[in-house]
A and B are shown apart, each in its own frame.
Chain A
Amino acid sequence: MTQYGRAAAVVGLSAGLALGSGGTALAQVPAADPASGVSAAQNGAPGGSGFRLAPSGRPTLQLPIGEIQFRGRVAGTVQSPARDRGTALPDPGWQTARLQVEGTLFTRLEFEVSREFGDPEEPERDLFANFRVTRGFELRGGQFKVPFGRDALTGGANLDFVYRSLLGRQLAPGRDLGVMAHGRVSGRRVAYQAGYFRHDGDNARTAQTRGGGPALAGRVVVTPLAGRDTPLARLQVGGAVVTSRLDDVLGLRGRTVFGEGVFFDRVFVNGRRLRRGLEAAWAMGPVSLSGEHMTVSDQRTGMGAAETDLPTVTASGWYVAGTWVLTGERKDGRVEPAHSLFDDGHGALELTARVERLAFGTSAEFPALTVSPLTPLPVANADRVVTVGLSWYLTRHLKLTGNAVFEFLGDPARSPEPEGDGRVPTGVVQFQFVL
């Protein structure tokens, strides 16, 4: 089966489940167990075992030792024509087609397996088990996201924009194989994650490049006023660090929002890679604000003539994002519309905006460096992006998002629009189904 065939199968399954037996269907069936939403009719199995639909609308397999939930997400986009993508007509395509199975066994053992059907090269996503010793100390092992970057760690279904921030896609590590201790302490005001990973994430590697070596990662997020009656009760601030080894590999590459333009090409790096990040987020009622700052430095130890060091390649960036649910629903990740479109309502509308910048260059530690044919310096460049958007949550499962993306490349000659002034405007519409 082709990737499109598999994607179509997922779409068919998902759409059928959502449109045929979505939230409205659940509401029509009296629940025998108010806590779990299980009805006797849906359960259909003695002793509490069998399939049911959870309140979230997800098919759930209830077992004597726990439960297993099936989730899915399908998203397609249509982008406006643009020279940088070589399109003269609106450009439709799949963004994601993912199936996910997660569950809890014996109360404390959780697991998650997900597969991306739109990515034939690297279809495996999460594959991990999590053992909860206490709320303050849990252990996770397998393949999952390296704990770094708020936007990068946000689930795809909960993103406010069609695309993650440049930081989230290019500077954050992404997923890798590892073990991690994590938990919430101090009355759940402090969340921590600390882990060891085999490599430093799939965002920094391709089918032909290895990326960094073993990585150590740590992240702390504090909600200082959690539980208090104050507008800042949902304020979160945090920081994260990831360090990894680079063994004569190709480093990071600066890509434009839609990925086709390369505004900073990768160079060989050797030594240590250090990622540092700061993050903050706040929400109150229908409004939210978030922001991050990240830096990544890739050493080039012993790569010069006579094995001298070359200047470190650096990448740094930030973003500030805001959202406002115009229809008044509470903002907490994905918006739950108070009145679904299929219940004679109109869904929920959310206004979004993000400003971000990502810059690449070299460290200023080598002011006396003599540039020669043997020591070419990567030429710095930066991408500044403004995104404004409107999201329409038709139901809890269906979402239509429109984003207008304005990119400004620092060096127009290395932008996807070399004949312009480095400005690349693009419109994109995303249709997303989430189960």
Chain B
Amino acid sequence: MTPVTSPRAWLAQTLVCALLSAAAAPALAQTQADLFNDSTVQDIHLTVSSRDWEALKAHADENTYYAADLRWRGVTVRNVGIRSRGAGSRNGVKPGLRVDMNRYVDQSFLGLRALILDNAYTDPSALREVLAMKLFARAGLPAPREAHARLLVNNEYAGLYIVVEPLDRTFVARVFGDAEGNVENGGFLYEYSWVREYGFEYLGPALEPYAEIFEPRTRETDAISRLYQPLEALTRLINDTAPDRVEPAVGALLDLPALVRFLAVQQVAGEIDGFIGNWGMSNFYLYRFRDNRPAQVLPWDADHSFWALDLPIDHRLETNVLTRSIMAVPALRRLYLETLVSVSALVAGGAGADGRGWLEQEADRLAAAIAPLVAADPVTPFTFAEFDGNLRGLRGLLRTRPPYVACTAQAVLDPAAPQSCPVPAPGDIPAPMLTR
């Protein structure tokens, strides 16, 4: 082989080496777990043109996207799409935001295709959403990960937000496995869209009414019959099945034990705008597995948890066809009551000498971290005094509601148990602030 001595040849080799070195640059090691690590408040930076930011706030009722750059701990994603989001919390002062990484460019952020920046606009404590999802996860149910965040828009503090893991096929892959998150052969994820008060009544054989309230979030363009025929069949079955057939028939399509657990968590949390909300069903997703395993209900937008101190344990269960059917099955009703007891124990568990249970301790820890940011929040609708007062009420609820729920459930389960459970006093917990 002829040795290489020519300067031109060395030039060519150097170019090759430079290309190699540049291409082999190591990637940053931040992960999703770091982003949703709530032991610290995350700093999320958005760089967006001032004109676009003002336009987004001025037209907060619209879903118009604007281009922005997202930065977190040195990880920058350029050219993401941001838009206003939310239902009752949607406003132009402190807009809730959806950040779509691949709106304009095929890219992701730590493997996430999108991110939700919840504006915590209806909760003076800014804790309820996070605490509720913690409870779901602690109870063994799939729930979005969340952490508090200081949002900086063009390097200016734009308010305390909650960074929320969106329910999409990335989430599905995380909690149910990669195969379920496959873009083509994965399962079917639907977001329940509140249009009117509804409780699983049969809507007829046409598929349009189901499409109106169940918006596909995976396989969005798949055949209509694949998307909605199973929902029509499920709804028909829920309405037509006698109590003694609910477990084998409805249970074949819907994971009833998991739903019972879901309902129990929301009842312990005193949720008033959830699956059995005061305005019908709201704030949940439905996931149909790719291999036809029973579908599962997933929690979403739980900022109206921990509002109702004295909500009865069977609150509004009779108003929903599905929960009414479930509670008519003795085994499922017993499971519900037992789960109320065990979830209450979760909330109150780990109490020290000061009487604070696990969730109250979590509330205190998070409150201490966000308090300075609440005080400095330039666009929050609440004063710091309201935050502080509401926090005290929340702590009271976390301390008194679990024993009340457990006692009430135990009284039904065991006639020998005390049948009189003291109803917690409202104390200084403020009235719900729902705007719907």
Query: A10 CB to closest chain B CB, in angstroms?
Result: 11
Q: Is B28 an interface residue (CB 8 A)?
A: no
Q: Is A368 an interface residue (CB 8 A)?
A: no
By the criterion CB–CB under 8 Å, are B78 and A93 in contact?
A: no
By the criterion CB–CB under 8 Å, are A261 and B105 in contact?
A: yes
Stretch from A177-185, A248-256, A280-288, A289-297 at the B interface: A248-256
Tell me whether A398 and B208 are in contact in the complex, defined as CB-CB below 8 angstroms, given that A7-B20, A419-B49 are known contacts: no
Tell me whether A21 and B2 are in contact in the complex, defined as CB-CB below 8 angstroms, given that A415-B104, A419-B67 are known contacts: yes
The one of B9, B81, B211 in contact with A342, judged by C-beta atoms closer than 8 angstroms, is: B9
By the criterion CB–CB under 8 Å, are A305 and B207 in contact?
A: yes
Tell me whether A267 and B221 are in contact in the complex, defined as CB-CB below 8 angstroms, given that A84-B105, A86-B77, A341-B8 are known contacts: yes
Tell me whether A303 and B223 are in contact in the complex, defined as CB-CB below 8 angstroms, given that A85-B105, A260-B107, A341-B8 are known contacts: yes
By the criterion CB–CB under 8 Å, are B23 and A373 in contact?
A: no
Q: Is B1 an interface residue (CB 8 A)?
A: yes
Stretch from B10-18, B358-366, B374-382, B414-422 at the A interface: B10-18
Q: Give the docked Cα–Cα distance between A374 and B228 (Å).
A: 9
B residues less than 8 Å from A16 (CB atoms): 1
B contact residues, total (Cβ < 8 Å):
50
By the criterion CB–CB under 8 Å, are B224 and A92 in contact?
A: no
How many Cβ-Cβ contacts under 8 Å join chain A to chain B?
142
The one of A249, A260, A374 in contact with B224, judged by C-beta atoms closer than 8 angstroms, is: A374
By the criterion CB–CB under 8 Å, are A19 and B24 in contact?
A: no
Q: Is B333 an interface residue (CB 8 A)?
A: no
B residues less than 8 Å from A413 (CB atoms): 65
Tell me whether A83 and B1 are in contact in the complex, defined as CB-CB below 8 angstroms, given that A209-B184, A268-B221 are known contacts: no
Tell me whether A86 and B1 are in contact in the complex, defined as CB-CB below 8 angstroms, given that A4-B20, A248-B226 are known contacts: no
Name, among B2, B78, B102, B105, the residue most crowded by chain A CB atoms within 10 Å (CB to CB): B105
Tell me whether A15 and B13 are in contact in the complex, defined as CB-CB below 8 angstroms, given that A262-B102, A372-B208 are known contacts: yes
The one of B4, B106, B221 in contact with A262, judged by C-beta atoms closer than 8 angstroms, is: B106
Q: Give the docked Cα–Cα distance between A248 and B185 (Å).
A: 10
By the criterion CB–CB under 8 Å, are A374 and B211 in contact?
A: yes
By the criterion CB–CB under 8 Å, are B19 and A19 in contact?
A: no
Interface mask (A399-435 → B, CB under 8 Å = 1, otherwise 0) = 0000000000000011111110000000000010100
- Please, which residue of chain A has its CB at the minimum distance from the CB of B211? A373
By the criterion CB–CB under 8 Å, are A433 and B224 in contact?
A: no
Tell me whether A86 and B2 are in contact in the complex, defined as CB-CB below 8 angstroms, given that A208-B184, A261-B104, A268-B222 are known contacts: no
Q: Is B6 an interface residue (CB 8 A)?
A: yes
Q: Is B217 an interface residue (CB 8 A)?
A: no
Q: Give the docked Cα–Cα distance between A84 and B67 (Å).
A: 11
Q: Give the docked Cα–Cα distance between A394 and B13 (Å).
A: 13
Query: A75 CB to closest chain B CB, in angstroms?
Result: 9
The one of A2, A20, A24, A76 in contact with B19, judged by C-beta atoms closer than 8 angstroms, is: A76
Q: Is B76 an interface residue (CB 8 A)?
A: yes
By the criterion CB–CB under 8 Å, are B207 and A374 in contact?
A: yes
Q: Give the docked Cα–Cα distance between A4 and B23 (Å).
A: 8
B residues less than 8 Å from A88 (CB atoms): 78
The one of B107, B212, B219 in contact with A86, judged by C-beta atoms closer than 8 angstroms, is: B107
Interface mask (B363-404 → A, CB under 8 Å = 1, otherwise 0) = 000000000000000000000000000000000000000000
Q: Is A304 an interface residue (CB 8 A)?
A: yes
- Please, which residue of chain A has its CB at the minimum distance from the CB of B169? A208
In A372-392, the 8 Å CB interface with B consists of 372-376, 378
Interface mask (A90-105 → B, CB under 8 Å = 1, otherwise 0) = 0011100000000000
Q: Is A259 an interface residue (CB 8 A)?
A: yes
Q: Give the docked Cα–Cα distance between A304 and B228 (Å).
A: 11
Q: Is B431 an interface residue (CB 8 A)?
A: no
B residues less than 8 Å from A433 (CB atoms): 16
- Please, which residue of chain B has its CB at the minimum distance from the CB of A22? B2
A residues less than 8 Å from B222 (CB atoms): 248, 268, 303
Query: A424 CB to closest chain B CB, in angstroms?
Result: 11
Interface mask (B1-41 → A, CB under 8 Å = 1, otherwise 0) = 11110101100110110111011100000000000000000
The one of B18, B23, B104, B225 in contact with A94, judged by C-beta atoms closer than 8 angstroms, is: B23
- Interface of B: prevailing SS: mixed
B residues less than 8 Å from A20 (CB atoms): 1-4
By the criterion CB–CB under 8 Å, are B78 and A431 in contact?
A: no
Q: Is A11 an interface residue (CB 8 A)?
A: yes
Q: Give the docked Cα–Cα distance between A248 and B222 (Å).
A: 7
Q: Is A307 an interface residue (CB 8 A)?
A: yes
Interface mask (A57-81 → B, CB under 8 Å = 1, otherwise 0) = 0000000000000000010101000
Q: Is A198 an interface residue (CB 8 A)?
A: no
By the criterion CB–CB under 8 Å, are B16 and A76 in contact?
A: yes
- Please, which residue of chain B has its CB at the minimum distance from the CB of A266? B221
By the criterion CB–CB under 8 Å, are A250 and B184 in contact?
A: yes
Q: Is A272 an interface residue (CB 8 A)?
A: no
Q: Give the docked Cα–Cα distance between A24 and B1 (Å).
A: 11
A residues less than 8 Å from B18 (CB atoms): 92
Interface mask (A354-384 → B, CB under 8 Å = 1, otherwise 0) = 0000000000000000001111101000000
The one of A19, A210, A418 in contact with B104, judged by C-beta atoms closer than 8 angstroms, is: A418
Q: Give the docked Cα–Cα distance between A375 and B211 (Å).
A: 11
A residues less than 8 Å from B23 (CB atoms): 4, 7, 76, 92-94
B residues less than 8 Å from A302 (CB atoms): 223, 225
- Please, which residue of chain A has its CB at the minimum distance from the CB of B81? A418
Interface mask (B107-135 → A, CB under 8 Å = 1, otherwise 0) = 10000000000000000000000000000
Q: Is B84 an interface residue (CB 8 A)?
A: no
Tell me whether A416 and B221 are in contact in the complex, defined as CB-CB below 8 angstroms, given that A248-B226, A431-B15 are known contacts: no
Q: Is B412 an interface residue (CB 8 A)?
A: no
Query: B50 CB to closest chain A CB, in angstroms?
Result: 13
Q: Is B79 an interface residue (CB 8 A)?
A: yes
Q: A83-B78, A86-B78, A94-B19 are in contact. List 16 more A-B contacts (CB 8 A).
A: A8-B20, A20-B2, A84-B79, A94-B23, A208-B182, A208-B184, A209-B184, A261-B104, A261-B105, A261-B106, A268-B219, A268-B221, A303-B225, A307-B225, A342-B6, A374-B224
Q: Which residues of A contact B (CB under 8 A)?
A: 2, 4, 7-8, 11, 15-16, 19-21, 24-25, 28, 74, 76, 78, 83-88, 92-94, 208-210, 248-250, 255, 259-262, 267-268, 270, 302-305, 307, 341-342, 372-376, 378, 394, 398, 413-419, 431, 433
Q: Which residues of B contact A (CB under 8 A)?
A: 1-4, 6, 8-9, 12-13, 15-16, 18-20, 22-24, 49, 52, 65-67, 76-79, 81, 102-107, 182-185, 206-208, 211-212, 219, 221-226, 228
What 4 A-B pairs have minimum CB-CB distances, sorted nearest first? A86-B78, A76-B19, A267-B221, A92-B22
